[in-house]
Amino acid sequence: MNYDKLLLAIICYLVSINSFSQERNDTFRKNFEVNGVEILKENYEIMLVDAIDTFLLAKLRPNNNYYFELLNSKSLKHITYIGRVGEGKNDFATEIVYNGQYEKINDQLFIWVQELNRKRLYRINITKSIKNGKTFIDKEIKYSPEYMFSQMFYIDSTNIIGASSNLDIKINRLLIINPQTNERIKVVKPFTIIKNDNNDINFLMYRYNMLYVAILALKPDKTKISSAMNMFNRLDIFDINGNILNSYIDKNENLNSSLIRDYLAAKQQSINDINVKEYYIATTSTDSYIYTVYYNQLKSEYAKQSIPVEVRVFDWQSEPVCSIKVPDYLQYITIDEKNGIMYGVAYFDEKILKYDISSILDEIKTGSK
């Protein structure tokens, strides 16, 4: 592939995504700082944790007999293992991932996990799994191999919403399918629009599609979904039918047409010379807020230079609520809003940290009344 000719082949232009979308570019008027306490220092098998009701769901490193360990969130003591590796009933032949969706129904606690390689979505009954000392799969949904979901969420028996990974040649921002018929209900195409005439597969997957990588978070009541972008400095909120409702866009610090042109045209060996950035890295949500890990770091420095990060908090109208400065280089967060706790994973520094944000939550909730 002659990348020198790419400048002639690519025309980059940016357009508004939707004339009805309400763009927000307000400042974060409330700013806080927190320091964390390292936890689980002796448990080297745990990669990250997710706050789920009164528990922590700990993702275990590969080569374990289970994919997850369930811990008491206060004592951090072991309760049970979840997701045994194997081919038997209630086992998982390949890796399962948790995308942040759990629900309580009639005093029963459930989590949804995704088995990427086998194109399946499972609901696990945590309450029964604890009681029986083994994983109890409550529901299994198969979907067509043509759908390369990077994240997916269960809405109801005829509606699954998610987004494709960069490995999908026809990457999208959102994809809604009917799992019973495997039909597409709606595809939300990538935006902002960047015209590209280079159809080399590797170029599409590892260069062009990377522009559209975003992290999703589902509102627990399953009415809205947020999409925070990695290379574009923006967060978009959609309803569950895939219609965009509003957006928060940093206009003063964003990926522009000149940078896009240089990024797409650069030879691989000089890609680090292009000053594109990492913006939103991770996101999680509650019914009240969307919490995001925000970098504003050069892509060439990602994982090479640890920096303090910012946790940006939005409401579900994409209004900025507050910014929380964190001295640690976090790649992942999860929130126990009831107890005022934020957990952060500094994966590259091999740390899991616990932050008390109870006073911050009290102040922003009081301020919103």
Go through 118-151 and write b for each residue having 16 or more CB atoms within 10 A of its CB, e for each that does not. Answer: ebbbbbbbbbbbbeeeebbbbeebebeeebbbbb
CA dist 294 and 312 (Å) reads: 7
Q: What is the pLDDT of residue 26?
A: 62
Q: What is the pLDDT of residue 191?
A: 87
CA dist 223 and 164 (Å) reads: 20
Q: What is the pLDDT of residue 232?
A: 95
Q: Which candidate, 212, 224, 106, places its Cα nearest to that of 161?
A: 224
Q: What is the pLDDT of residue 366?
A: 84
- Is position 368 within any domain? yes
Q: Whole domain around residue 338: which residue ranges?
A: 1-33+198-369
Q: What is the pLDDT of residue 369?
A: 56
Q: What is the pLDDT of residue 21?
A: 45
Strand partners, 215: 228
- Is position 185 within any domain? no
CB atoms within 10 A of CB 50: 23
Question: Domain holding 209: CATH number?
Answer: 2.120.10
- Is position 77 within any domain? no
Residues of the chain with pLDDT under 70: 1-26, 368-369
Residue 155 phi, psi dihedral angles, 5° rounding: -100, -55
CA dist 301 and 125 (Å) reads: 41
Q: What is the pLDDT of residue 175?
A: 97
Q: Give 263-303 pLDDT, tens digit per residue.
A: 999 998 899 999 999 999 999 999 999 999 999 999 999 99
- Is position 104 within any domain? no
- Is position 163 within any domain? no
Q: What is the pLDDT of residue 214?
A: 97
Strand partners, 141: 121
* Gyration radius of the chain over CA positions: 21
- Which is it for strands 320-326 and 31-33: parallel, antiparallel or unpaired? parallel
- Is position 314 within any domain? yes
Q: What is the pLDDT of residue 368?
A: 65
Q: What is the pLDDT of residue 49?
A: 98
- Is position 222 within any domain? yes
- Is position 132 within any domain? no
Q: How does the average pLDDT of the chain come out, rounded?
A: 91
193, 15 in Cβ contact below 8 A?
yes
Q: What is the pLDDT of residue 104?
A: 95
Q: What is the pLDDT of residue 254?
A: 85
Q: Give 229-251 pLDDT, tens digit per residue.
A: 999 999 999 999 999 999 999 87
- The number of distinct structural domains making up the chain is 1
Q: What is the pLDDT of residue 11?
A: 31
